[in-house]
């Protein structure tokens, strides 16, 4: 494949993984519906500054993700597609940036494999298709890394790197708007670590290490970088602080930054040293089948005296980037798989370099073995075996989930055949000495299996699928303010009901709410049905139930005859008015 087509190939694979059936699965977990409902509320109020969820201030995340949702709603309506479109587009951009970085630092073929790995690993399909701040954080930190590499190239050629460092700072400011201080602090830590390593590595230079270190730090232009970041991020942070009397900033920094780092929150804990290696092994699959070889190869390149300086510098930068993200979150008390996704572009770069080196017969991971070439062939045979086993695990896992209560997953179990077939093809091609063909088989396997899992399997088990179907069962939505909840209110119901759902705490509160208006509705789960008024007010009954596979049944009390829903109005969704939406348009089949 000629280098001029590499970017097109990476973009095509990324689009296949990220855009196919993007809006099919219901919003996942709690984060997606919270973010999307928050954006919905901000859009309704015409407020681009203060994030709220279900009528309360939301301090968990800055507002960049909400702005992306608003743009998506303008293009695709207030649907799952609209909520996820910004993340998907930015993740396609991340894959292209990864290809560009690896090509600039490590060679064109390494760039192709790096871009494909970033585009088609499992966690890209998870994070890149989610209405969360992770995708914009990864895009803007990767953009900052690309600007830093461009600045280094400009400095080596005798040109001023200042404009590139301004761009780097602006990207870090946007990353700070995506997820807070982590978007600035960890990239800066990686840049500083790289500058120190480069100063120590240049042993043949005439100047002493201290002088080289001062020169390297000066090339960062930290005041300029900080000013650019502040120019992008500070206006919103100042505005939300003033508008909320400091409440948002205090809650965000104290609870959701310092608190999450100091101790586990919401049960998200794990072993410090083993959690993220295990997470990366799963999240970077199927490219993680060579993970150990990639790390050994990269370290060997930094130690070898015959490695070209530009390539060695690129490997050192990728290692610093990877170490800072994984190391910082390994030390944190709260651990979640998505926290280290910003490290994946660096991991993809190193993986691309290893695979290109294997094709050329130059991989260093077995250099210390007695028979390096034989050992390397066995390493790759082991990698294809892991890929085959991974395919079997996917098939068995989907069948087990179907037996456990998700029968709709039975037809998706065939997806495990794709990695298994790819492993057989790669093994055969390696035996015929067609190494490039073996890597191509891996790339095709990754694209098809990851896209299938994201577009087909996820659509059958969407986390908020039953909330969405419950709202659809109820028919036309009532006017705003009709909803209330007894007990915990699932965040997904706030989004799909397109209304705030205040929490009631006593049986008399339920009675009073139902008596307050003819279209009133009360949401609860089956564990709390005993607390409903007995009898219910005249004209009201349990009008909908929606079983959940692994949780209590969702129950809605509403008008017995279905009255109270509003008729179609000019504010409903239409081709001429895509911003107006209610969750029953377009209708989806109410399958179990």
Pairing of strands 52-53, 483-486: unpaired
Given this model, what pLDDT does residue 99 score?
98
Rounded distance between C-alpha atoms, residue 139 and residue 153, angstroms: 21
The neighbouring-strand residues paired with 540 are: 559
Rounded distance between C-alpha atoms, residue 442 and residue 435, angstroms: 11
Q: What is the mean pLDDT of each run of 10 residues along the chain (592 residues)?
A: 92 97 88 95 95 94 96 95 97 98 96 98 96 97 97 90 95 97 96 92 69 84 95 97 96 90 80 90 96 96 89 95 96 92 98 97 90 94 97 93 82 91 97 96 97 87 78 88 92 93 94 94 92 92 86 90 47 36 35 34
Rounded distance between C-alpha atoms, residue 65 and residue 61, angstroms: 8
For residue 320, give the H/E element and its range.
helix 309-331
3-state secondary structure (DSSP) of residue 579: coil
**DSSP-derived secondary structure for 506-526:** SHHHHHHHHHH-TT-EEEEEG
Given this model, what pLDDT does residue 205 score?
57
Given this model, what pLDDT does residue 568 score?
38
* DSSP 8-state class, residue 132: S
* DSSP 8-state class, residue 438: H
3-state secondary structure (DSSP) of residue 300: helix
What Rg value do the Cα atoms of the chain yield, rounded?
A: 26
Domain boundaries, the chain: 10-365, 373-460, 465-559
Rounded distance between C-alpha atoms, residue 475 and residue 425, angstroms: 51
Rounded distance between C-alpha atoms, residue 369 and residue 551, angstroms: 53
Given this model, what pLDDT does residue 203 score?
63
Long-range contacts of 331-334 (CB under 8 A, 24+ apart): 331/261, 331/272, 332/260, 332/261, 333/260, 333/261, 333/262, 333/263, 333/264, 333/265, 333/269, 334/260, 334/261, 334/263, 334/264, 334/265, 334/266, 334/268, 334/269
Given this model, what pLDDT does residue 561 score?
76
């Amino acid at each position: 494949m000629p280098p001029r087509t590499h970017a097109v190939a990476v973009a095509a694979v990324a689009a296949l993984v990220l855009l196919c059936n993007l809006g099919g699965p219901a919003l996942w977990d709690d984060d997606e519906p919270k973010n999307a409902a928050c954006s919905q509320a901000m859009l309704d109020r015409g407020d681009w500054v203060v994030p709220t969820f279900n009528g309360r201030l939301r301090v968990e995340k800055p507002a960049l993700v909400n702005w992306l949702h608003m743009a998506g709603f303008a293009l695709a309506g207030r649907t799952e597609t609209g909520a996820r479109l910004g993340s998907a587009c930015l993740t396609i951009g991340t894959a292209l940036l990864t290809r560009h970085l690896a090509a600039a630092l490590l060679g064109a073929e390494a760039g192709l494999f790096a871009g494909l790995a970033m585009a088609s690993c499992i966690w890209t399909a998870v994070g890149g298709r989610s209405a969360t701040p992770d995708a914009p954080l990864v895009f803007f930190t990767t953009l900052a890394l690309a600007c830093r590499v461009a600045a280094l190239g400009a400095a080596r050629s005798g040109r001023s790197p200042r404009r590139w460092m301004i761009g780097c700072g602006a990207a870090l400011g946007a990353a700070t708007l995506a997820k807070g201080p982590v978007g600035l602090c960890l990239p800066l830590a990686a840049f500083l670590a790289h500058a120190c390593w480069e100063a120590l590595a240049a042993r043949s230079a005439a100047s002493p290490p201290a002088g080289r270190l001062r020169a390297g730090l000066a090339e960062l232009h930290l005041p300029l970088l900080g000013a650019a970041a502040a120019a992008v991020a500070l206006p919103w942070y100042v505005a939300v602080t003033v508008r909320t009397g400091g409440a948002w900033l205090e809650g965000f920094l104290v609870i959701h930054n310092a608190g999450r780092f100091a101790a586990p929150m919401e049960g998200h804990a794990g072993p410090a040293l083993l959690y993220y290696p295990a997470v990366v092994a799963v999240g970077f699959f199927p490219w993680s089948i060579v993970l150990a070889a990639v790390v050994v190869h990269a370290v060997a390149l930094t130690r070898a005296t015959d490695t070209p300086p530009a390539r060695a510098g690129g490997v050192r930068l990728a290692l610093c980037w990877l170490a800072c993200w994984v190391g910082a979150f390994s030390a944190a008390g709260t651990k979640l798989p998505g926290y280290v996704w910003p490290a994946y572009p660096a991991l993809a770069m190193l993986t691309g370099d290893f695979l290109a080196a294997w094709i050329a017969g130059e991989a260093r991971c077995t250099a210390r073995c007695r028979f390096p070439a034989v050992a390397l062939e066995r390493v790759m045979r082991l990698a294809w075996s892991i890929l085959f086993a991974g395919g079997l695990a996917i098939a068995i896992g989907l069948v087990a989930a179907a037996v456990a209560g998700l029968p709709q997953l039975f037809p998706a179990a065939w997806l495990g055949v794709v990695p298994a077939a790819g492993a057989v093809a790669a093994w055969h091609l390696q035996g015929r000495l067609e190494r490039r063909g073996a890597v191509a088989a891996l790339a095709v396997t990754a694209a098809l299996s990851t896209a299938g899992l994201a577009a087909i399997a996820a659509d059958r088990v969407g986390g908020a699928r039953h909330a969405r179907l419950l709202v659809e069962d109820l028919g036309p939505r009532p006017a705003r303010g009709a909803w209330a909840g007894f007990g915990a209110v699932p965040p997904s119901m706030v989004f799909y009901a397109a209304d705030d759902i205040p929490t009631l705490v006593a049986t008399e509160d339920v009675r009073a709410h139902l008596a307050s208006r003819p279209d009133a509705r009360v949401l609860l789960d089956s564990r709390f049905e005993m607390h409903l008024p007995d009898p219910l007010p005249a004209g009201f009954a349990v009008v909908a139930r929606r079983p959940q596979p692994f949780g209590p049944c969702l129950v809605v009390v509403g008008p017995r005859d279905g009255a109270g829903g509003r008729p179609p109005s000019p504010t409903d969704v239409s081709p001429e008015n895509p911003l107006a939406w209610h969750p029953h348009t377009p209708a989806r089949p109410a399958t179990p």
